[in-house]
Amino acid sequence: MDVSARNDRGARRGGDWVRLLWAGAIMAGFALTLAVLGAWLRFEIAGRGGMPAYVVRIALPDGRGAIGLPPVEGPADASRPLVVIDAGHGGHDPGASGPGGEHEKTLTLALALAVRDALLADGHVRVALTRSDDRFLALSERSGMARRLHADVFLSIHADAADAPDAAGATVYTLSDTGSGALADAVAARENRVDTINGVSLDGKDDAVSQFLVDLSQQRMRRNSQDFAALIRREGEGQMRFRDVPLQQAAFVVLKSLDLPSALLEAGYVSNPADVRAMTSRPWRDGFGKAVAHAIEIFLAGGGGA
C-alpha cells in the first residue's frame, strides 16, 4: 500500500471520528434540552397546585368492576315490584339547554324525584334511582343497574329540545324494531352465552336456539313496553301536554334491554318557555309524578287495558 492510500484511509477514519463526535454532541444537547424542559414543567405544575390551569379532570370508572348499585327505597318486602327511574344526563353532560340557561340534567332529576316521591307515598312498590344527584352515568350503566337489581320496569326521563319555537309537549318512546334487531344479532353472535332470557340460560344453547329465545323475549318485551308507554299517555292526559304523535319508537341505547319493560319519557321541551315553566313548577311536577306513578302501578298490577 503506498503512502497516498494510507493517507486517504487515515483521513476517512478521522472523518468518521469527527462525525461521531458531532452526533454525540447533538444527542447530548437534545437530552439537556429535554431535561431543562422537564424541570420547567415540574416547576410550573408545582406552582399551580399540582395541575396546569388548562387541565380539566373528569372522574371516570376505573374499569375494575361494575358501578355500585343505588339504594332501594320503599317497602321492605322484597317480593314487591321494583321500579328503576333514570334521570337523564348529569355531571359533565348537561343535556339540552334552554334559552334561560336551564339544563336538561337539572329538570330530569327533579322530575325523577317527583315520580319517586309519588310511588313511595302510595307504598305499593319499591323504587331505585339511577342517580339522585348531579353525576355522570354511561348509558349502559343506567339500564345495567335495572337489570342487576332485577327491576320489573325501567323508566328514563328526559326533556327534548328543538330549533322550532312551537315544538312542545311530551313524548313516550319505546325501543324500535330496528334497534331491537341489531341487539338480537349482537346477543346471538356472542361466543360466551351466559346471559339469561326471562330466566332461561343461553349457556350451552346453539345459535339457532339462542336466537329463538332472544326473538321471543324481545317480542314480549316490546309489547309490554308499548303497553307501559300507552298507560303513561293515558294517565298523563290532563296533566301533561302531549305532542300530536305522543307514542313513538326509536333505537335509544338506554332502552336496549332483552327482558325488561322500558320506556323513555320526554316530559317536555327545554327549548319551549311554556314547557320549562311547567317543569320548573313544583305543583306541576307533583302532578306529573302522581300521573306517571299511577301509570306504573297500573302496569305492574297487570291492569293495562290502555
The CATH number assigned to the domain holding 281 equals 3.40.630.40
Q: How many CB atoms lie within 10 A of CB 280?
A: 15
Residue 36 lies in a domain: yes
Q: How many CB atoms lie within 10 A of CB 75?
A: 15
Q: Does residue 269 share a domain with residue 163?
A: yes
Q: How many domains would you assign to the chain?
A: 2
Q: Give the structural domain span for 27.
A: 1-57
Quote the DSSP letter at residue 90.
B
Q: Does residue 139 share a domain with residue 26?
A: no
Residue 305 lies in a domain: no
Q: Does residue 110 share a domain with residue 6?
A: no
Residue 74 lies in a domain: no
Backbone angles phi, psi at 240, to 5 degrees: -110, 145
296: cell is: 306504573
Q: Does residue 146 share a domain with residue 8?
A: no
pLDDT tens series, the chain, 306 aa: 554 545 455 545 555 555 655 555 566 655 556 565 565 556 555 555 555 555 555 555 554 566 799 999 999 999 999 999 999 999 999 998 888 889 999 999 999 999 999 999 999 999 999 999 999 999 889 989 999 999 999 999 999 888 887 899 999 999 876 644 443 344 333 323 334 444 555 455 556 555 545 555 567 788 899 999 999 999 999 999 999 999 998 878 778 765 789 999 999 999 999 999 999 999 999 999 999 999 999 999 986 544
